[in-house]
Chains A and B, each alone.
Chain A
Amino acid sequence: MSEIANTSSQSAQVAPPPGSLWHHFENLEHQNEATTLGMWVFLATELLIFGALFAGYAAYRSWYPAAFEAASGRLNLLIGGINTVVLLTSSLTMVLAVRAAQLGSLRALVTLLILTSLLGTVFLALKAVEYYTDYLDNLVPGLAFNPEEWRQVHVNPAHVQLFLVFYYVMTGLHAVHLTFGIVIMAVLAVMAWRRAFTPEHHTAVEMWGLYWHFVDIVWIFLLPLLYLIATRKTLM
C-alpha cells in the first residue's frame, strides 16, 4: 500500500489544495491513507460479488462441459479479442495518468484520463455491437434462441441457455462497473483540468486507477472462461 501513496511524504510541508482536507483527519497524508484503504476494502467486496457468479459458473461448467464448450465456441471472439486489447490499453493510459499526476504534468494527466474514459467507451460500444451480433446469431435466451439447432449437434439447449445466462450476467455486471469507471474518469479529468491535483495530492487518481485495473482484471478472467473454452475454427 505504501508504494501507492509514495508521494505523500512531502504532504506535511506543501499546503493541500483548498477544500480537500476533511475536518476529521489530522492531515492530508492521513486522509489519503484512509481513502486508499477504503478503495482496497471496496474492491474486496467486488471480488465477492463477481465471486458468486464465478462459483455458479464453475458448478454448471463442471456438470455440463459439452454444452458450455459448444456455446462458448459461438461467441464473438473477434470482438471479444479486440475489446481485450482496448481494455488493456486503457489500463496503460490509466497507469500513465497516475504517473502524469505524480510528475505534475497537467496536460498529460487530463489527456490520459480522457483517453482512458474514451477507450472504456469504445469497449462498451463494441460490446453493444457484440450483443447485437449475438442477437442475430440466436444466442439470446428468451429473445432469440433456437433450441433445435443445438439438439441437432447433440447438445442440450437448456444447458446452453445456462451458459448464455452466465455470459450475459457476468459481462453485463462488468459493463455496469465499467460504465461507473468511465463516468468517474471523466469527472477526474474535469477536476484535473481545474487543478485539483498536485504531485503531492492526487490520491483520487490513484484510487480510481485501482478500481479501473480491477475492472480490467475481471475481464481478463472473463475472457478465457467465457470465450476460450473450446478449440475454435472460427473467430465469430
Chain B
Amino acid sequence: MSTLTAPFRPQALATPPPEPKANYLNVSYGVKSWLLTTDHKRIALLYLVSVTLMFFVGGAAATLIRVNLLTPAGSLVTADTYNKLFSAHGIIMVFFFLVPVVPTVLGNFLLPMMIGARDLAFPRLNLLSWYAYMAGATLILWVIFSGGVDTGWTFYTPFSSKSSHASVIPAMLAIVIGGFSGIFTGLNFVVTVHRLRAPGLTWFRLPLFVWSLYATSIILLLATPVLAMTLILVAVERVWGIGIFDPALGGDPLLFQHLFWFYSHPAVYIMILPGMGIVSEIIPCFSRKNIFGYKFVAFASIGIAVLGFLVWAHHMFVAGQSRFAAMIFSFLSYLVAVPSAIKVFNWTATLYKGSITYHTPMLFALGFIGLFTLGGLTGLMLAALGLNVHVHDTYFIIAHFHFIMVGGMVMAYMAGLHYWWPKITGRLYPEGWGRLAALIVFIGFILTFSPQFVLGYLGMPRRYHAYAQEFQVLNVLSTAGASILAVGYLLPLIYLIWSLRYGKKAGDNPWDATGLEWQSPSPPPPDNFAEPPVVTCGPYEYALGPGVRSQESGVKIPETEVHNV
C-alpha cells in the first residue's frame, strides 16, 4: 500500500522541526574542519565540488570541439589545439569525472548509511583518497592549461612514446595519481561492506546500490594498478628511449594496447555499474514496488564485473591481432551483454503494476533505461566482427559510448543527485525546474548523439578536426543538440545551488523510501544514527506499506515519520 499519494510534491515538513540539532554540516566550522575531516559525508561534499568543477572543464572542451565541427574546415581552432581539446575532454571525463563521480560523491555519503554504519572502515584513507584525486586533478589542469597533451585519452604507442611533443608524462602522472584515489576508495568500500554491516543486514538484504558499489570496487582494485604500470612503462620509454612498445627497437605496440585495454574496458564498468545501482534504488521507490528479481540484479552486477575483465581486445579487432583471438573476444563480448540485459528487463518488470510518479529522479532514471538500452544495443552491433571493421574508430563508436556514458551514466548520476539531495543537504530542490532539466537533457542528448551514428556508418572518422563536406549537416545538428544539452546541465547547477539557501526544508524521508539512510535526519548527524539500526527485512518492501512494515518486520521507522495520506 503506497502512502505517497500527493502526486506532484515530495513530502515537505508540515511544521518546522524543533530546535536545530547538530548535523554533519553545522557541527563544526572553518576551513580546517573541512580539509582535515574524516567524516565520509563531508568528504563526499569535497568530492562533489571538485568533481563538478572537472565536469564543467571537460564540458567546456566538448563545447569547443562541437563548435569547431560546425564547419568542414574546422576553422575555430588549429589542428593541434583540436587534438589537445579532445584529449583533454577524454582524460577529464573518463578519469576525473565518470570513474570517480558516483562512488566518491554518492557512494562515500551513502554507503555507510545504507548499511547502518557510522563511517567507512578507514576514514583517514578516505581523506587521503580525496587528496590524491585533488593532486591528480590539479596536475592535469596544469597540463591542459600550460600546453596540453595530444595523445587522446588512449595514449597509443608509438605516437605517445616517441612522436608526440606534448606534456605526455605529466598527463600520465596525473592519471596514475588519480588512479590511487580510486584504489583507496575501492579498498575502503570492500572492507566496509564486508565488516560494517548493521545487525541483521545479510548480503541479500543489502540495497542494490551497495551491490553495485561492491562490484565497482572489485574492478577499481584489480584493474587500476595495471593501468598505472602501463603508463609508467610508457614514461620510461619516453625518457630513456628504450623500445618497450616501439617496434624499431624490438618492442610491440600491440602489447601497449592489450595492457591499456585490460584496464580501460573494465573501467567502463566502473563507470556504469554505480549508475545502474542508483536506478535500482529509484525505480522501486517511485513505483512503490519491490525490485523484480533482486538476486538476479545483484548477481548481474558481479557477473558484469567478472566478465568485464575478459573482453578487452574487442577494442582491437582491426589492430592486428589474430583472427582466432578476435573470435574469442567477440564471443565473450556477447556474453557480457547478458547480465546488462537482465537488469534492463528487471527494471522494466518492476514498473509493472506499480504506482508510479514522475518526480525528477524517476524521470532521469526512466531516461537512463531508454538511452542506456539504446547504447547497449549498439554494443551488440559492435561485437559483431564483420560490422566492427567498418565502424571502428568512427563516430559510430563515439555515439555508442556517449549513449551509455552520457545518456546512461550522467543521467543516472543526475537521478541520484536529485533523489538524495534532500538527505545530503536537508533541502528540497524545486521540482518543476528539475523536471524541465530532465526533459531538456533528454532532448538535447538525443539530438546531439543520434546524428553521430549516421555519421559513423557513413565513415566519418573520429578525432578529425576537419571533415568531408558532405558530413556538415549532421555535424551541425549534433552541435545544435549539444547547445541544448549544455543548458540542461547548467540548470541543475543553478537551481541546486539556489536550493541550498532557498529550497524548502526537507523531512527525514520526503520520498517515503525504504533504506536505512532515510531513517536518520536530513541532513544526518555526524555519526549518522542515534543508535545502530537493526534490519529484519529486505531493502525494497514498499508494497507492505509503512504501518505493516514497522509491525511485522521490525524495521525501525520513528512514528513521526510515518506519512499518512
Asked if A and B touch directly (CB within 8 angstroms), the answer is: yes
Name which of A110-118, A119-127, A157-165 contacts chain B.
A157-165
> Which of A24, A48, A59 contacts B196, CB < 8 Å?
A24
A27 CB, nearest partner CB in chain B, Å: 12
- Tell me whether B230 is interfacial, beta carbon within 8 Å: yes
- Tell me whether A199 is interfacial, beta carbon within 8 Å: no
Q: Are A52 and B236 in contact (CB under 8 A)?
A: no
A156 CB, nearest partner CB in chain B, Å: 7
Within 8 A of B (CB), among A27-63: 30, 33-35, 37-38, 41-42, 44-46, 48-53, 55-56, 59-60, 63
- Tell me whether A22 is interfacial, beta carbon within 8 Å: yes
Q: Are B122 and A38 in contact (CB under 8 A)?
A: yes
Q: Are A158 and B249 in contact (CB under 8 A)?
A: yes
Q: Are B187 and A56 in contact (CB under 8 A)?
A: no
Q: Are A42 and B229 in contact (CB under 8 A)?
A: no
Contacts of B232 in A (CB 8 A): 169
> Which of B190, B194, B222, B255 contacts A59, CB < 8 Å?
B255
Instruction: Report the separation of the CA atoms of residues A37 and B232 in the bound assembly, to the nearest whole angstrom.
Output: 28
Q: Are B118 and A24 in contact (CB under 8 A)?
A: yes
B531 CB, nearest partner CB in chain A, Å: 12
Contacts of B226 in A (CB 8 A): 48-49, 51-52
- Tell me whether A142 is interfacial, beta carbon within 8 Å: yes
> Which of A41, A52, A161 contacts B221, CB < 8 Å?
A41
Given A53-B229, A55-B259, A162-B244, A156 and B191 contact (CB-CB distance below 8 Å): no
B334 CB, nearest partner CB in chain A, Å: 25
Instruction: Report the separation of the CA atoms of residues A193 and B549 in the bound assembly, to the nearest whole angstrom.
Output: 54
Given A30-B195, A34-B196, A52-B229, A45 and B222 contact (CB-CB distance below 8 Å): yes
A171 CB, nearest partner CB in chain B, Å: 13
- Tell me whether B415 is interfacial, beta carbon within 8 Å: no
Name, among B112, B221, B229, the residue most crowded by chain A CB atoms within 10 Å (CB to CB). B229
- Tell me whether A64 is interfacial, beta carbon within 8 Å: yes
**Looking at chain A's contact residues, is the secondary structure mostly helix, strand, loop, or mixed?**
helix
Interface size on B, residues (CB 8 A): 42
- Tell me whether B225 is interfacial, beta carbon within 8 Å: yes
Instruction: Report the separation of the CA atoms of residues A162 and B242 in the bound assembly, to the nearest whole angstrom.
Output: 7
- Tell me whether A16 is interfacial, beta carbon within 8 Å: no
In the complex formed, the residue of B with least CB distance to A52 is B229
Q: Are A64 and B195 in contact (CB under 8 A)?
A: no
In the complex formed, the residue of B with least CB distance to A166 is B244
A223 CB, nearest partner CB in chain B, Å: 20
Q: Are A24 and B123 in contact (CB under 8 A)?
A: yes
A25 CB, nearest partner CB in chain B, Å: 8
> Which of B192, B196, B225, B251 contacts A52, CB < 8 Å?
B225
Q: Are A22 and B233 in contact (CB under 8 A)?
A: no
Contacts of A37 in B (CB 8 A): 190-191, 194-195
- Tell me whether B561 is interfacial, beta carbon within 8 Å: no
Q: Are B240 and A141 in contact (CB under 8 A)?
A: yes
B52 CB, nearest partner CB in chain A, Å: 27
Instruction: Report the separation of the CA atoms of residues A52 and B255 in the bound assembly, to the nearest whole angstrom.
Output: 11
Name, among A33, A34, A169, the residue most crowded by chain B CB atoms within 10 Å (CB to CB). A34
A141-174 to B contact mask, C-beta < 8 Å, 1/0: 1100000000000001011011001000100000
Q: List 19 A-B contacts (CB under 8 A).
A: A23-B119, A24-B118, A33-B195, A34-B192, A34-B194, A38-B187, A44-B221, A45-B221, A48-B223, A49-B225, A49-B226, A51-B225, A56-B244, A59-B255, A142-B240, A142-B241, A158-B243, A162-B244, A165-B244
- Give residues in B with beta carbon < 8 Å to A: 112, 117-123, 183, 187-188, 190-192, 194-196, 221-226, 228-230, 232-233, 236, 240-244, 249-252, 255, 259, 262, 527
The 8 closest A-B pairs by CB, nearest first: A49-B225, A52-B229, A24-B118, A158-B250, A24-B119, A142-B240, A48-B225, A34-B195
